[in-house]
Structure 1
Amino acid sequence: MSFKTEEEAWRYADELRARVRPPEFPDRWFDLTSYGDGEKWTEAFRAAILACHEAGGGHVRVPPGTYQTGAIHLLSNVDLHVEAGATILFSTDPADYLPAVYTRFSAIECYNYSPFIYAYGQENIAITGSGTLDGAAGPDHWWPWVGTPEFGYREGTPYEDEDWAELQRMAVEGVPVEERVFGAGHYLRPNMIQPYLCRNVLVEGVRIVRSPMWEIHPVRCENVLVRNVSIYSRGPNNDGCDPESCKSVVISGCVFDVGDDCIAIKAGRGPDGRRVGVPCEDVLIEDCDMRYRYGSVAIGTDTTGGIRNVFVRRCRWGGPGLYFGLYIKTNSVRGGFVENVFVKDVEISELTKEAVSIDLYHGDGHNGDDPPPIRNIHVAGVRSDRTRSAYLLRGYPEQPLRGISIRDSSFARVQRANVVSDVEGLSVTGVAVGEVT
């Protein structure tokens, strides 16, 4: 799909918002406490969700209190409703996330520990309410597996490097996914929430803290709505929301204070992404606050299946620890494509790097044979107070960035000159840049 004008693109975004509607559930309520009263609530969650599902759907009510549990697996037509004053406290014992499930770790398919809240092949599912999902991760649990002292790693303790290298080798060599089994005895961290191959998904209102890594990670889902969620989790690889190889996603009214990208749109990695070949498309992000740490809205690092039709409006980016604004990051190893990205009416209070960064030299640089086309990226109505520079745009000589525009924007207190190399068709109009004095 191509858009002849920005107005046409934003009409499409409005249509996207209208068609991504929350699932509806029968007015049946299943109280968690009717299914258990022990110190660990794993079986009670399983029983309540199954009863709700078998009755034809409804709501599993989690009343005020703290409920320690292992993995929770949602089923079709079930809303997990976490009331104000309720905390779902996830176990720190990896055995509570077994058996291993079909998942993705850093955009590569495998079998691994179950995400804390997981659904596979389900329809009409939700996590709602104003309660808390607490992953209990920290320097004593989960985070040390990343292998850095900043997050609790101590010499001689196990961490993920060997497993991550093995998973990447398997992908390169085409090992069947059924044979890429990790989990018990391995150290690849699970995600917090992951619906996989699901349709009509809602995550609304909850507060998420202390995740092992990516917080909300829908994979190959369609019709996903994430709204009014607040996430506070500054751990390693703690992306806030990462729709991957999904279609029709709306992220609205959320707060992100996380240890990695606030939102990262993905489409598989390297050989595995090429094998699966599913793009991520039709994503609307609006009215969100991005406060910490890397990209406010990142597109990549994992772009291999391709990413198209991304819309961002009325967001607020900024904080002393937040790096980038719009951050499109890939390279000739990852490949894929990025096209039709539209950003407007964004307020930036402070970034340590660029307001707009489109960089084909991210990570592995230019060391592959699949240079990704990046085209039709349009930014308008940005009001920025402090950045390293307004924009950094770097394509390849043989694959320049194409169709980039920045208009009707102001960038105050910019510390250094903009960077532009290998860009074809750059348009900068009505832009004011004020340097630090």
Structure 2
Amino acid sequence: MKKNKILVFVIACGLLFGACNQSEKESAEPKVAETQTKESEPWGAIYDSLVNLKEPVFKQERFDITKYGAVADGKTMCTNAFREAIKAAVANGGGMVIVPVGKFLTGSIHLESNICLHLEEGAEILFSKNANDFLPLVTTSFEGLELMNYSPFIYAYNKKNIAITGKGILNGQANETNWWPWKGSTSEGFAYGYKEGQPSQKDSLNLPALMKMADDNVPVQERIFGKGHFLRPNFIEPSSCENVLIKDVKIINAPFWVIHPLKCNKVIVDGVTIESHGPNNDGCDPEYSKNVVIKNCVFNTGDDCIAIKAGRDNEGRRTAIPSENILVKDCKMIDGHGGVVIGSEMSAGVKNIFVEDCEMDSPNLERVIRIKTNTRRGGVVDGVYVRNLNVGTVKESVLKINMRYAIYGNQTGDFIPEIRNIVLENVKVNDGGKYAIMALGHEKSPIENVTFNNVTIEKVQEGYLLENIENLNLINTKINR
């Protein structure tokens, strides 16, 4: 291990400072060229299949919610109108459920197969501030753990060919007085309305109880939460669905994760704008999902812009469905903890992630690419391929890999993660923050095969923080020069 650490430092030194003295180079023994192993071409058949993924097609019969009792005053509850319009479309064999111009207040909306929920430009769906409007309980997920909880605002379970489209707005109405305080955050400046003594997810009967149930393998149907508990619902969650399209809508003020495809196959998120700065307001979190395309989107979020998940701890290992074959293309990331992130809930593994032609720029964007796990999570990350990024300002690091990520107390265990085959090429960063690469591997499982090819990073404060990493290739890479 020691030899690998020295090798990495010599390569980094030569690129960051232009030259090291000869005695330092000779003491490391291996030559830079010996580490520049040729990468196999990853942008092949899997990438091509994602680029060519087809949108679901729907019958064009229109079912306007105002014909089923919806009132566009932003005050009248329209939950039943949505339900009846969807029911009529189902009886038709599918169709377009139309939300016309105006503001419509509702509880949860449950989509059925072959239904497209379409918001016309000027339409806004306001989701109720009353948690009881998201009952009855449904099978859902909270931070990588399945449970019976409040319904996601827009939900589908075991459906095929579903969509949410149009130029309208989905407004979760979450803020410092509604939903966000349930986080229980006490950080100065990030309390989100929470005051000491209020109920929150941190209480023993809430998230700690769910985590114990998952560890004890309690059946999901017996993990009863919802009323009297304080675990926030996801905004949009297709669960165990196939052929899903979310296109063009604007989503604001989310209670929790915004778009959460769970155990899905063939998902397209296209042209969506997300503006939500609440706690855990990840923009798009594919989990246990495959063949996912996220393109032409704008993320301005209170947490990760995109976070690829695959279950937490023992539950992820039992479920054993990796998230794989995911493409992020032509997106813009503004605020967020990370641009494209893997973890920390990734115990079932993640592979074949492609990121290209994206723009990232904000003093509040902390990392460009981030992978986070620990020895309680475990999991394997194999194949993260990134190219053609234009980055303005990033706060902490361009690439951060951390096998010691810790939250919610002790996060150590016997499940050693594996991370390998991470490639960034054709990347330009104007202000790289603290580190170009921050990579903290495990002494029993070093990070393997990290390549920067044709990468230019300016204004990096410290360059590199590296531990337990093997085969770091820096090819035609310029740091601070």
Same fold (TM over 0.5): yes
Q: Residues 103-159 of structure 1: CA distance to partner in whole angstroms, max 9, x if unpaired?
A: 010110100000000000000000000100000000010001011252001233221
Which residue of 412, 415, 420 maps to 1:370?
415
Match in the other structure for 2:223: 180
Match in the other structure for 2:49: 16
Q: Residues 351-398 of structure 1: CA distance to partner in whole angstroms, max 9, x if unpaired?
A: 110001111111168721111111111111110011211111111111
CA distance in 2, matches of 1:397, 1:312: 29
Match in the other structure for 1:33: 66
CA distance in 1, matches of 2:82, 2:156: 14
Which residue of 119, 123, 128 maps to 1:82?
119
CA distance in 1, matches of 2:125, 2:246: 15
User: 1:169-208 maps to which residues of 2 (within 5 A)?
Assistant: 169-208=212-251
CA distance in 1, matches of 2:473, 2:172: 45
| Contact map agreement 2:463 2:479 (CA 8 A) in 1 | no
Query: Structure 1, unaligned stretches of length 5 or more?
Result: none
Which amino acid letter does the alignment assign opposite residue 353 of structure 1?
Answer: E
Q: Aligned-pair RMSD on alpha carbons? A: 1.4
Match in the other structure for 1:357: 400
Which amino acid letter does the alignment assign opposite residue 280 of structure 1?
Answer: S
Match in the other structure for 2:106: 69
When normalised by structure 2's length, the TM-score is 0.88
When normalised by structure 1's length, the TM-score is 0.97
Which residue of 231, 238, 261 maps to 2:274?
231
Tell me whether 1:422 sits opposite 2:465 in the alignment.
Answer: no
User: 1:391-410 maps to which residues of 2 (within 5 A)?
Assistant: 391-410=437-456
User: 1:268-417 maps to which residues of 2 (within 5 A)?
Assistant: 268-363=311-406, 367-387=412-432, 388-417=434-463
CA distance in 2, matches of 1:283, 1:5: 24
Residue range with higher mean Cα deviation, 419-428 or 8-17: 8-17
CA distance in 1, matches of 2:70, 2:445: 61
CA distance in 1, matches of 2:65, 2:40: 48
Q: CA deviation at 1:15?
A: 1.6
State the secondary structure of the residue aligned to 2:279.
coil
Match in the other structure for 2:163: 126
Count of aligned pairs? 432
Query: Structure 2, unaligned stretches of length 5 or more?
Result: 1-36
CA distance in 1, matches of 2:357, 2:51: 17
Q: CA deviation at 1:5?
A: 7.2
CA distance in 1, matches of 2:51, 2:423: 22
CA distance in 1, matches of 2:393, 2:163: 34
CA distance in 2, matches of 1:18, 1:414: 34
State the secondary structure of the residue aligned to 1:418.
strand
Match in the other structure for 1:148: 185
Rg larger in structure: 2
Q: Residues 249-286 of structure 1: CA distance to partner in whole angstroms, max 9, x if unpaired?
A: 00000000000000000000001111111100000001
Q: CA deviation at 1:8?
A: 3.4
Q: CA deviation at 1:19?
A: 4.2
Q: Residues 69-121 of structure 1: CA distance to partner in whole angstroms, max 9, x if unpaired?
A: 00000000000001110000000000000011000101101000000000000
State the secondary structure of the residue aligned to 2:326.
strand
Match in the other structure for 2:478: 432
CA distance in 1, matches of 2:435, 2:427: 13
Q: CA deviation at 1:166?
A: 0.4
User: 1:48-63 maps to which residues of 2 (within 5 A)?
Assistant: 48-63=85-100
Q: Which has the higher contact order (CA 8 A, sep 6+)?
A: 2
Which amino acid letter does the alignment assign opposite residue 83 of structure 1?
Answer: E
Which amino acid letter does the alignment assign opposite residue 401 of structure 1?
Answer: I
Which amino acid letter does the alignment assign opposite residue 196 of structure 2?
Answer: E
